[in-house]
C-alpha cells in the first residue's frame, strides 16, 4: 500500500510521531559541522544527529568517551547554523548526565542554550531514569538509546550484537516501555536482533529508529562518514555505503599533488 506523504517545512518531535502513525519511515544521519549539515539537510533528511561518534570520526579517538560537553556544543552549534528543515538531536556526552540528575539537567540546558539544538539524546534506561525525568520536566525533548550503548563499551568489552539472550531482551523491552512512559519522544535501538527491534517498535507509539536493528523499526540512522564511505576500516554487516569518498578524495588529492608539482595548476584562467 502506498502512503501519501505529508510535506513538512520543519521537522518537529510531533512530526516524527505523525510519521510513525502514518507508516512513513524516518531518515536520520549524523552531522558534526556546518557544511555537512547543510548538504544533508538540503537533501531532505528528517533528523540530524550530532552524535558523540564525533569523538571517533572527527577526533580520531577509539571510543566515544573522551568527547566533552564543550566540544559537543561546538559541533552542535555548527550543525544548527546549516539546518533549515531537519530536527537536530544532540548527544549528551559521557560524564555529563550519569552522576546526578541536576548535572544532567545543567548539561542539557547548556546544549539547548549554547548550540540551539532542538533536543538531546542519552544512553540507557532505568539507570538514568531520574536524569531523563529531570530533563523532560524542564521541557527539553529527550531521545533514548538502548541496545549497544557505546558509552558503556568498557562494561561490555565488545561492540557485538546486544540482547540476543532472553533476559537481556526482556530488560530492553521494559526499558523501552519505560522511556515512552516517562515521555521520551523517540528511541534509538543499536545493534539488536531484527525480530526484537520490530517487537519493540510495534509495542511503542513513539518512533524507534534503528542502526543495525533491521527493517521492522520506524526509521534508520547511520553515521554519515560511514555511509559516504569516508571511513573504510569499519565494516559492520548493517552498514550500506552509498559512496566511496575515501578512494575518491584520495584520488583527488593525488591528482592535485601531481598538478601542483608539474605546474599544471594553476593555469592561465585560474590566476589574476
Ligand atoms: O553517536 C552516534 O553517532 C550515535 C548513532 C550511532 C545512533 O549515537
- What pLDDT, in 10s, does the model give residues 159-179? 999 999 999 999 999 999 999
> Per-residue DSSP letters for 124-162?
-SGGGHHHHHHHHHTT--EEEEEES-GGGHHHH-S-PPP
Do 261 and 166 share a domain, yes or no? Answer: no
pLDDT at 130 over 70: yes
Do 45 and 116 share a domain, yes or no? Answer: yes
Do 178 and 271 share a domain, yes or no? Answer: no
Do 260 and 197 share a domain, yes or no? Answer: no
Residues annotated as catalytic are 190
Q: Give the model's pLDDT for residue 1.
A: 44
Q: How many domains does the chain have?
A: 2
Q: Compute CA 92 distance to the chain's CA centroid, rounded to the nearest angstrom.
A: 11
Give the three cell numbers for residue 66: 573522551
Is 2 inside a domain boundary?
A: no
Distance, in Å, from the CA atom of 121 to the CA atom of 90, rounded to the nearest integer, reads: 6
Do 126 and 145 share a domain, yes or no? Answer: yes
Range(s) of the domain holding residue 39: 13-241
Q: Give the model's pLDDT for residue 5.
A: 72
Do 183 and 260 share a domain, yes or no? Answer: no
- What pLDDT, in 10s, does the model give residues 181-229? 999 999 999 999 999 999 999 999 999 999 999 999 999 999 999 999 9
CA of 53 to the centre of ligand 1 (A): 6
Mean pLDDT of the chain, nearest integer: 97
Do 51 and 181 share a domain, yes or no? Answer: yes
Please tell me the residue having the least CA distance from ligand 1 atom 2.
51
Q: Which of ligand 1's atoms lies nearest the C-alpha of 53?
A: 1
Do 126 and 185 share a domain, yes or no? Answer: yes
Give the three cell numbers for residue 43: 537533501
CA of 10 to the centre of ligand 1 (A): 22
Is 112 inside a domain boundary?
A: yes
- Among residues 129, 32, 139, which one has the least CA distance to residue 88? 32
Amino acid at each position: 500500500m502506498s502512503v501519501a506523504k505529508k510535506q513538512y517545512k520543519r521537522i518537529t518531535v510531533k512530526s516524527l510521531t505523525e510519521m510513525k502513525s502514518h507508516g512513513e519511515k524516518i531518515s536520520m544521519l549524523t552531522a558534526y559541522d556546518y557544511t555537512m549539515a547543510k548538504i544533508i539537510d538540503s537533501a531532505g533528511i528528517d533528523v540530524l544527529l550530532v552524535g558523540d561518534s564525533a569523538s571517533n570520526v572527527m577526533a580520531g579517538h577509539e571510543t566515544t568517551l573522551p568527547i566533552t560537553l564543550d566540544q559537543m556544543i561546538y559541533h552542535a552549534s555548527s550543525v544548527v547554523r546549516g539546518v533549515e528543515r531537519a530536527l537536530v538531536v544532540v548527544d549528551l556526552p559521557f560524564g555529563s548526565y550519569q552522576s546526578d540528575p541536576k548535572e544532567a539537567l545543567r548539561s542539557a540546558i547548556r546544549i539547548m542554550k549554547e548550540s540551539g539544538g532542538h533536543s538531546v539524546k542519552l544512553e540507557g534506561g532505568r539507570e538514568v531514569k531520574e536524569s531523563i525525568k529531570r530533563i523532560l520536566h524542564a521541557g527539553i525533548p529527550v531521545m533514548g538509546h538502548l541496545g549497544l550503548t557505546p558509552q558503556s563499551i568498557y562494561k561490555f568489552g565488545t561492540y557485538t550484537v546486544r540482547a540476543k539472550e532472553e533476559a537481556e531482551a526482556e530488560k530492553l523491552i521494559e526499558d523501552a516501555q519505560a522511556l515512552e512512559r516517562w515521555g521520551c519522544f523517540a528511541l534509538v535501538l543499536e545493534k539488536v536482533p531484527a525480530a526484537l527491534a520490530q517487537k519493540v517498535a510495534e509495542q511503542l507509539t513513539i518512533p524507534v529508529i534503528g542502526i543495525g536493528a533491521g527493517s521492522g523499526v520506524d526509521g534508520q540512522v547511520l553515521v554519515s562518514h560511514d555511509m559516504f564511505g569516508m571511513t573504510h576500516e569499519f565494516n559492520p554487516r548493517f552498514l550500506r555505503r552509498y559512496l566511496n569518498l575515501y578512494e575518491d578524495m584520495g584520488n583527488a588529492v593525488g591528482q592535485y599533488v601531481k598538478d601542483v608539482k608539474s605546474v599544471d595548476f594553476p593555469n592561465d584562467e585560474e590566476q589574476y
